[in-house]
Structure 1
Amino acid sequence: MVEMLQKDPNTYSDRYYMKLFNLVRGGNYGVITTAGDLWRDQRRFAIHVFRDFGLGKGEMEQMILKEVDSLLTGLDSQIRGEPNVEIDLPKHIDVAVGSIINALMFGYRFDESNVAEFYALKRLVNHQLDGSWPILLTMNNPELFKHLPFFRTELKNYIAGFNQILDFFNERIAEHQCQMDKLGEEGWREQPATDYVFAFLKEKGERDASGEEHTFSTAQLKNMCLDLWLAGQETTSNTLAWGIALLLHNPSVLSQLYKEMGKVFGNDQRLITFADRSQLPFTCAVVNETLRRANILVNAIVSNKTTREVVVNGVRIPKGSPVLAQVSAVNYDERVFENPRQFNPERFWMKMAL
């Protein structure tokens, strides 16, 4: 893993993708399963847009904190109304995370008036991600399996499910395009982008007008929306849910966390910000240990690919071979972390405190 990620990253920098992905996406689109010029162009644009929206700055943090405040206010209200009520906390976290992603992509958050929209999309995505053994078998050669009756039906249903997800994104893209059409070319050129879809459509319009070849298309946009949702929603929600569960099952850690926050903030009830991290070494250690123990990307299906033939520990790996950094092998390795199944932030605490 050190060889792949640190010593010789260029040899492992190409992207390996399952052929089924291109089938369900309608071609080579998005950034999760693409490589080359398209990947570089689209990744560069997405980073540029999100930086304009405040990525790594106070603006985006304020948007996130606003959603955190809404989440906590809602939970507090529910508890005050019925003190012994059972709360499905991951469900509330899901909506909060989904609101942040949706605001970045489409310019609006989820609330009581439209939360059904979030749950509809989440059900569709979860159903597709759950997969089934026939679909897993067809990942690398759908063209062969689609001729077999049983697999043909499974593939048809799987593709139809993804089409429903892409249709969801298409509807929001169409709404943005309609707004741009009303503004007219001069209007949308002068209008500052307030979300990713609007920024993408502006870039597409400008490149179309220039007559140059480019990678900005509606098909690419809807697949970018899919990638942003897949990359941000489940990973963030699951990590937060794991963190809360681990703290509930380790009250001594929770007590120490409260103690540190009380020492730093006293009676100040404000939300913690990224700027506070230097004063909160134990809190940072809890975050790191949560990421290690939760280990949510245990079976990532997105692999890299070798750009040349390479020999690793005496084993020859041909050019074009898929390679996957199995991070869980390190996270749960007793040679790296003593008692790896134990939730113990003190592994990182001393490093953070130095």
Structure 2
Amino acid sequence: MRITRLDVHHLSPRYSVLVVHTDDDSVFGLGEACLEGKARVVQAAITDFEPLLLGQDPRQVEKLWNDMYRTTFYPSGSVLASAISAIDQALWDITGKHHGVPVHELLGGRVRDRVRAYRHVNVGDHGDAEVARDQDHIDELVAVARVAVSQGYTMIKTALPGPARGLESAAFVDFQARRFAALREAVGPGVDIAIDFHGRVGPALAKVLIRAIEPWSPMFVEEPCLPENVDAMVDVARSTTVPIATGERLFTRWGFRDVLSKGAAAVLQPDLAHCGGISEGRKIATMAEMHYAQLAPHNPLGAVNLAASIQLDLVTPNFLCQEQIHLGEGVITHPFEVVDGYIEAPTAPGLGVELDPAVLASDWDGSWTLPSWRDPVDGSLLPW
């Protein structure tokens, strides 16, 4: 079997799928070809890898991964790692289809029969730096949380609403504490609540906020500060008993090494569309297991990345939970279902999903831009 063509299809509002074709017309592979707001750049990087891939056996996944990673000379950052991730997912999909088994069987077989998924609970971001501290926001948030629980979810995740400065006022801290307390009261102690700071505040304020919400037992705090400075995150982690999570903006096993060795996080969140694909996700998961850290793959993307993530979740002993915002309507023919907070193990070959014809028919060019915020007082850019 040989690789003959690589095509990327963009599907509005912001999903991009790579199709790797082979000389066996009945066998092709799917991968999530995305970097939020930069899908066309990833597409160009995939095209740039074609000389290394065309004519090669797609089942030589590890060889081709190393060829792509090592022949660039420079370590892969967000763009190249995302291109490699999409290709890697597609190669595993092809290999599973060739052998007639799900990818998780190729990875050694599953250690669980279903995957715990969680639902995002937010009601829109406020557009000003002060953040509206009104009861209406909290009431709306609580209503969304109760719907999630009624749907069977046993875990939810919220985020700091709207932009924030590196340091904030006492009123800001009080609002975040009241907001989280209301969530806990609404869902009770039997539902896990995680919160994503999204790198929106500095380490000093992160410690203050974590202390403020700690009485209501957050499952973990995600990206309490931007991830570039591992030592700063170590300082945050050592200041609290609340588990710290990070990883969506880290790439390859080398990007996670210091986070683990320095004890910066108890939960790792590699994104299989960015970190290097299924191959690299497996290695990161094993590194995490060695450091007694849990795996909670990041995925605010499409159903192909969710499918790839589920295959890894099924074989990972230290798996914790799976992020999802889109179960595949309009992208795959049989969207995933969350029942009582879990997704059952797929049994179809490869990634276990088939592409909806709408993806191939789409003429969207992939031009999607990430949102950004500016401080209304001085006009400075605030982290999204």
Is TM more than 0.5 here?
A: no
Q: Please state which band the TM-score falls in when normalised by the shorter chain.
A: under 0.3
More helix by share: 1
Give the TM-score normalised by structure 2. Answer: 0.24
Give the TM-score normalised by structure 1. Answer: 0.25
Q: Which has the larger radius of gyration?
A: 1
